[in-house]
Amino acid sequence: VQLQASGGGLVQTGASLRLSCGASGGTLSSGPIGWFRQPPGKGREFVAAIDWYGGAVYSANSVKGRFTISRDKTKNAVYLELNSLKPEDTAVYYCAAAGRRYGSARSDPNEYAYWGQGTQVTVSS
């Protein structure tokens, strides 16, 4: 399965973006799908995840109330709605697929087998 993340861009503080994650060579319907990000000079961190089957979601405290993860089974896609963006949200955002069923959303990147190439989100102050 190859994942493609898209929708990033350069925006101002307070703006919104919608990131999309699609798959080729397979489907996303194999368990949790997660979004992670890597800020400049820092390590990769968990943002949000959704369980493909049950729809359970889990988000990092830093983005709760601002970012929303969702899935569209008919389009085989997962989305991350980013609202009220802040400069500290600047990062490369990656989507990842676990490739197996867990029955819940997962935040540990080690539990994700497939990763997309990332999309840059830059928030100016």
Residue 32 in this model has a pLDDT that exceeds 80: yes
Cα gap 42→56, rounded to integer Å: 28
Cα gap 84→65, rounded to integer Å: 9
Identify the residue with better confidence: 124 or 100: 124
Beta bridge partners of 115: 96
Residue 27 in this model has a pLDDT that exceeds 80: no
In percent, how much of the chain has pLDDT > 70?
A: 100
Residue 51 in this model has a pLDDT that exceeds 80: yes
Cα gap 125→23, rounded to integer Å: 33
Cα gap 108→34, rounded to integer Å: 9
pLDDT at residue 30 in the model: 77
Cα gap 62→47, rounded to integer Å: 8
